[in-house]
């Protein structure tokens, strides 16, 4: 088939690579979000998908909105058979959805109908799921509600953060998307409607979602830290400034610390929760690089009675 691939971040690049390498289909163009400011100089930078497409000599389309008439006119000129999508980042209007003969097919990183929305991997970890996966489905006007072509499953490991899990799903899902294109092309694959039960939503994680509630059980703190790493980053407050939490360990045999209370030794930093203590392993103070929590604690010289949490004035 002639394909127009839509995607933006690094997580979409493995799928683009798989389609380019398949040899069975032609990636005629790529649709991605417009260049965005990045770095200290805030200069405009092309998306990872745009950079990869340009390296491969593929035409890159960067519409401000997919409903732009100029973009849709160019898409009609290309006349794709299908538009595979991975994390494109914009809502597709019906006028765009109707252009390719076989529609737009999305690779979504959950087992639909679970975790429809922008942040399925983060929500899956934060909810304590033990199994997740990826699904390919036909995009329609509803939120991730279209019929499903194929799925794969992936175990969530106890130490996975969302970056770890998303990387594995991106590479496994690339094969699933390529196989879905093959099945659509040869007529062996038919999309099946999603069940009406088991629907859950995964909206974008807000900064407040990523704040640690030390009165909650230790397992909740661990899930929020893993689910929000690397982005948007779990956090708490220390001396009125935000402290990003990158990784924790469980200290199940210690229950003497009140929620948020700190206990530091030369080599470890413990914090009380609503159940048992956790150990801070890696943190990132405001304006600084990530560091071992024990090094951070030595630098700030934690005083008796100090705790995490409280008002955020940083």
Question: Would you say 279 and 270 are in contact if contact means Cβ atoms under 8 Å apart?
Answer: yes
Alpha-carbon separation of residue 32 from 56, 78, 130, 178 (angstroms): 15, 16, 32, 19
Burial class (CB in 10 A: 0-12, 13-18, 19+), 249: middle
Binding residues: 110-113
The distance of Cα 271 from the centroid of its chain, to the nearest Å, equals 28
Question: What residues form the annotated binding site for (6S)-5,6,7,8-tetrahydrofolate?
Answer: 110-113
Contact 260, 214 (CB under 8 A): yes
Half-sphere exposure at residue 154, Cβ-oriented, CA atoms within 13 angstroms: 27
Query: Distance between CA 174 and CA 21 in Å, rounded?
Result: 11
CB 115 within 8 A of CB 17: no
């Amino acid at each position: 088939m002639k394909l127009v691939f839509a995607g933006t971040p690094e997580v979409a690049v493995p799928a683009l690579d798989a389609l380019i390498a398949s040899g069975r289909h032609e990636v005629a163009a790529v649709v991605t979000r417009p260049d965005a400011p990045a770095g200290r100089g805030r200069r405009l930078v092309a998306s990872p998908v745009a950079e990869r497409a340009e390296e491969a000599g593929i035409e890159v389309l960067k519409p401000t909105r997919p409903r732009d008439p100029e973009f849709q006119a160019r898409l009609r000129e290309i006349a794709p058979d299908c538009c595979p999508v991975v994390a494109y980042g914009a809502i597709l209007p019906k006028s765009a959805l109707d252009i390719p003969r076989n529609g737009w097919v999305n690779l979504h990183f959950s087992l639909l109908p679970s975790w429809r929305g922008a942040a399925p991997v983060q929500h899956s970890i934060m909810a304590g799921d033990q199994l997740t996966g990826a699904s390919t489905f036909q995009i329609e006007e509803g939120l991730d509600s279209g019929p499903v072509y194929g799925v794969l499953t992936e175990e969530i490991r106890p130490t996975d953060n969302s970056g770890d899990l998303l990387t594995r799903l991106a590479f496994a899902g690339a094969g699933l998307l390529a196989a879905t294109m093959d099945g659509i092309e040869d007529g062996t694959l038919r999309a099946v409607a999603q069940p009406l039960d088991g629907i859950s939503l995964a909206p974008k994680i807000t900064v407040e979602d990523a704040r640690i509630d030390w009165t909650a059980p230790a397992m909740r703190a661990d899930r929020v830290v893993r689910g929000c790493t690397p982005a948007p980053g779990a956090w708490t407050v220390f001396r009125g400034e935000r402290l990003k939490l990158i990784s924790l360990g469980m200290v199940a045999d210690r229950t003497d610390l009140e929620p948020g209370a700190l206990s530091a030794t030369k080599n470890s930093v413990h914090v009380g929760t609503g159940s048992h203590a956790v150990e801070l392993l890696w943190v990132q103070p405001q304006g600084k690089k990530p560091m071992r929590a024990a090094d951070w604690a030595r630098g700030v010289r934690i005083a008796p009675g100090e705790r995490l949490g409280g008002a955020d004035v940083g």
